Structure 1
Amino acid sequence: MVVAGIGVINSAATRVHPSGPCSSPRGSWAADMSETLFPATVSSHVFTLTAPFRAHPMKRLPLDDTFKVNRNPVTLREIVLDKLRSAIMNFQLLPGDRLVERDLCDRLGVSRTSVREALRHLESEGLVEFADAKGPRVAIITLADACDIYELRCVLEGLIVQLFTLRAKPKDIRALEKALEENRQALKEGELQQVIDSVQGFYDVLLEGSGNHIAATQLRQLQARISYLRATSVSQENRRGASNKEMELMVEAIKSGDPMAAHQASVDHVRNAARVALEYLKSKQDEDTKVREIIAPVALKEPRIGR
């Protein structure tokens, strides 16, 4: 590598004048600095700096265990979990059905460990219960439990919809409209699981846009049982069209910027779904008790703290 420059510094121009440092012929600080940096002896002299180029050899790093392709057991466990959850949601496995590990292993073609882990996870979601020594079974959601879930939905979803109305950005509104249309298309195609997924997609947009992650977390912890009850109500023919219309009213209230109207539309939607699902559960569980009314608290005009 070669670096070259031409010195053109005049020795007279850089010499300090007797009358003072600023009275040199060039009369500047730069002149004094040039004397220091480039002495007069290099005037009109070509200077060259030469350095040899040396290629440094690339260091080889060892191939350790991180280079291995790991078979991820979580993938298989998630597949088994989704299969069992879908079978419960689609009523292929009914409440009270015994879940024999050996039979499930044969049907799914997986190990007993994968089945056992999936069942324990479904227990945490409230879809499977280990009620006695006979082993796990599909959980029975009682009328009382269902009423409790619907009342909690009225509170949390009403709040979520209010906050979404106040905080949502234009892109959130567009995402909600898209989710509503996807639900409408799913209803036309008639696949129950697709309908359930589209409704959940609609609520996912609301949860994200509300800005209240604690309320969203509480609802997601109940998601499996909410989805099961939702499947119970949506599977009834007289409920499908009404459900989408109620969701459309929610969107219209949100777009109008009226949080109170949005809250009321949300509560009405939950109550109407509850009425259908609870009557269905009552008929299947042979209970003579009257289905209680779903209570919802009065909405606050301003649900945000500190406003």
Structure 2
Amino acid sequence: MPNDASLRITPQPVRRQVEERLREAIISGRFMPGDHLSDRLLCDLFGVSRGVIREAVRLLEAEGLIDVVPNRGPFVAYLSPAEASQVYEVRAVLEALAGQGFAERASEDEIAELRAVFEEIAAARPGLDRVALLGLKRRFYDVLLRGCRNAYVARMLDQVLNRNTQLRATTLSDPERLPRTVTEIRRIVEAIERRDAEGTWQACRDHVAQAARVALRILNQQASEKAEAARGRLPAPAAD
């Protein structure tokens, strides 16, 4: 379990800060799927009251990041392969809309800003800290969502990306994924720089499809390994 003093909360608005810090701790992998988020743990970690913690947990449960199990409490949510596939389907459409809108409506300064963040991603090496790399991807999407000039797409995609960050962390375990990600995002940026809305739409769809392929392969493998382990723990059937 994490024990990071940087997560502790300073004054107002406390509930909002706890919500943001807890979300960050989950999507960055400080808390992993299945971890128990007890009141005592979170109160000690963030230095706030139980009521504030429970309100933040309720909000993140609504986002799908936390599961509250009756009589056991909150846990970091798992994503099954079937759930992950649905998340990627939604993300693909929303991200394509955001990319298309950005190509059509972003300012030249925003396009330059997007290019600058991409260059930082392209310069990253496979050994880069996972949290740092996810932070770069988050900055890329922050610019994309701002420049697409569609508040509804931005709001919905932002929520999907929060859920999807756990999956992005999963794909980073594939050593071949980072260079392919760079190639895919370069295609998006270059289409935007040409103001090619249709090309940006397709590049975004293709990027999400490739990410989904890697994540689902890993998740299916993990699910298979868990099933095998569970079968290994079952008692042998009684002899006739």
- Number of equivalences: 217
Amino acid at match of 2:167: L
Q: Is residue 126–residue 224 contact of structure 1 (8 Å, CA) maintained in 2?
A: no
Distance 1:106 1:159 in 2: 42
Alignment partner of 2:212 out of 256, 274, 277: 274
Change in 2 beyond 3 A, CA 1:109/1:263 = same
Alignment partner of 2:118 out of 171, 180, 190: 180
Task: Identify which of structures 1 and 2 has the higher relative contact order when contacts are C-alpha pairs closer than 8 Å and 6+ apart.
Answer: 2
Alignment partner of 1:74 out of 10, 13, 34: 13
Distance 2:47 2:149 in 1: 42
Match of 1:225 in 2: 163
Distance 2:186 2:23 in 1: 28
Match of 2:105 in 1: 167
Change in 2 beyond 3 A, CA 1:108/1:164 = closer
Match of 1:111 in 2: 49
Q: After superposition, what is the alpha-carbon deviation per residue over 1:176-218, rounded to whole angstroms, capped at 9, x for unaligned?
A: 1112123234556712112112112112222222222211111
Q: Is residue 101–residue 148 contact of structure 2 (8 Å, CA) maintained in 1?
A: yes
Cα deviation for residue 219 of structure 1 reads 0.8
Report which stretch shifted further, 210-219 or 91-100: 91-100
- State the SS of the aligned residue for 1:222: helix
Distance 1:185 1:240 in 2: 11
Q: After superposition, what is the alpha-carbon deviation per residue over 1:71-100, rounded to whole angstroms, capped at 9, x for unaligned?
A: 84424x445444433432343432222222
Amino acid at match of 1:164: F
Q: Is residue 80–residue 115 contact of structure 1 (8 Å, CA) maintained in 2?
A: yes
Distance 2:199 2:58 in 1: 41
Change in 2 beyond 3 A, CA 1:267/1:100 = same
Alignment partner of 1:95 out of 7, 12, 33: 33
Amino acid at match of 1:233: T
- State the SS of the aligned residue for 2:13: helix
Amino acid at match of 1:182: E
- State the SS of the aligned residue for 2:36: coil
Change in 2 beyond 3 A, CA 1:83/1:156 = closer
Q: Is residue 192–residue 235 contact of structure 1 (8 Å, CA) maintained in 2?
A: no
Amino acid at match of 1:172: E
Structure with higher Rg: it is 1
Cα deviation for residue 138 of structure 1 reads 0.9
Alignment partner of 1:139 out of 77, 92, 108: 77
Distance 1:253 1:263 in 2: 9
Alpha carbon RMSD of aligned pairs, Å?
Answer: 2.4
Q: Is residue 27–residue 163 contact of structure 2 (8 Å, CA) maintained in 1?
A: no
Distance 2:105 2:210 in 1: 27
Q: Is residue 28–residue 134 contact of structure 2 (8 Å, CA) maintained in 1?
A: no
Larger helix fraction of residues:
2
Q: Is residue 98–residue 138 contact of structure 1 (8 Å, CA) maintained in 2?
A: yes
Cα deviation for residue 252 of structure 1 reads 0.9
Percent identity, please.
40
Distance 1:204 1:106 in 2: 31
Distance 1:176 1:231 in 2: 22
Change in 2 beyond 3 A, CA 1:103/1:173 = closer
Distance 1:138 1:242 in 2: 29
Match of 1:208 in 2: 146
Structure-2-length-normalised TM-score: 0.80
- State the SS of the aligned residue for 1:136: strand
Structure-1-length-normalised TM-score: 0.64
Cα deviation for residue 171 of structure 1 reads 1.1
Distance 2:133 2:149 in 1: 26
Distance 2:151 2:125 in 1: 29
Q: Is residue 156–residue 215 contact of structure 1 (8 Å, CA) maintained in 2?
A: yes
Q: Is residue 104–residue 197 contact of structure 2 (8 Å, CA) maintained in 1?
A: yes
